[in-house]
Amino acid sequence: MRKLLFCISLLAAGAAAAQDWPKKPVRVVVPNSAGSLSDLVSRLVFAKVSDLLGQQFYIDNRPGAGGSIGAELVAKSPPDGYTILQISDGQVTVNPFIYPKLGYDPLRDFAPVSLLTKLTQALYVPSSLGPKTLEDFVRMARANPGKLTFASGGNGHATHLSMGLFLWKANLDLVHVPYKGTGPALQAAVAGEVSALMIATSIAQPFVASGKLIPLATVGASTPDVLPGVPPLAASFPGAELQSWQAVVAPAKTPPEIVRALHDAVAKALASREVSEKLKAGGTDAVSSTPQELDHLMHEEYTRNRELISRMKLKVD
């Protein structure tokens, strides 16, 4: 009986603490540099969350090691709701397989809260290459194995992995040309120095408008007005889509009442017109989820990328 009463008192204390949350500023660790897409998304979303909850949510940029430094910091922080993490797919589904000594376990060390965004990407070729459709490009690649090339923002970058997944599912052989960032990779594709590139539609759109790049297939497009008339990649190659996403998590063992309160505020922020429209203008879709849905996504993509990275024999530069 005493043990039961003790457990009840602990639960009551935890619930009371959660009801008071947040009673001081909350640190949002962003494992990317200031000015990055992740940083801009976090500042926009959590400014609204601050208004909703009446407490400051401030951004703490901790870039380095593909986001691993910031992720490890949060994984080892007290689970009290006052240090949370804006996390991207790379820190969950890529880093565990390319860094030999990772200071966190993405599936055990975090309490999922909600998705924040999904990024619409597309497969592009230079207009000088010739193909005007996905079928034309696949036909050319199969007729010239090992001769066509594709650019990426670097080994392990989302632009590398998304293209690698497509090549695997389509059974194509292209040569990887890594660049130091998406900017140089995009310029190489525009100049016709490489045969293909998979990148965010918002970044490539000016070059589509000028006729220098041709979009062949969309990846993760959630609305029909994104590159109208361009088919989704998954329609031709099921399972070939690797979509970049961002989410918010807390340290493992954070009280569920705090997770729920944070989730509800994030969902409201993402549903607001001022946040969703600004994200859309920046090339990302505001997408919330339940903690359970985010947990399922993390596990699903962790398993898939483990096989993908093994097939690609990917190592850190």
Residue 12 pLDDT > 50: no
| Burial of 49 per CB tally in 10 Å (0-12, 13-18, 19+) | buried
Residues 6+ apart with CB under 8 A from 121: 162, 198, 199, 200, 201, 218, 219, 220, 243, 244
| Main-chain dihedrals φ then ψ at residue 150, nearest 5 degrees | -140, 145
State pTM to two decimals: 0.79
CA-nearest of 118, 47, 59, 49 to 85 is: 59
pLDDT one-digit tens code per residue, 20-33: 899 999 999 999 88
Please give the Cα distance from 152 to 2 (Å, whole number).
Answer: 62
- Is the separation of the CB atoms in 42 and 70 below 8 Å? no
- Is the separation of the CB atoms in 216 and 124 below 8 Å? yes
- Rounded to the nearest integer, the mean pLDDT of the chain is 89
> What is 121-219's CATH number, 3.20.20.10, 3.30.300.30, 3.30.70.3400, 3.40.190.10?
3.40.190.10
CA-nearest of 303, 295, 311, 288 to 108 is: 295
Identical fold at 26-118+243-312 and 121-219? Answer: yes
Helix (H, G, I), strand (E, B) or coil at 57: strand
Spans of all domains in the chain: 26-118+243-312, 121-219
Residue 260 pLDDT > 90: yes
Residue 9 pLDDT > 80: no
pLDDT one-digit tens code per residue, 127-140: 999 999 999 999 99
- For 184-211, give the DSSP string: HHHHHHHTTSSSEEEEEHHHHHHHHHTT
Residue with the larger pLDDT of the pair 148 and 315: 148
Least confident of 95-104, 113-122, 123-132, 217-226: 217-226
Please give the Cα distance from 145 to 174 (Å, whole number).
Answer: 7
Q: Which fold has domain 26-118+243-312?
A: D-Maltodextrin-Binding Protein; domain 2 (3.40.190)
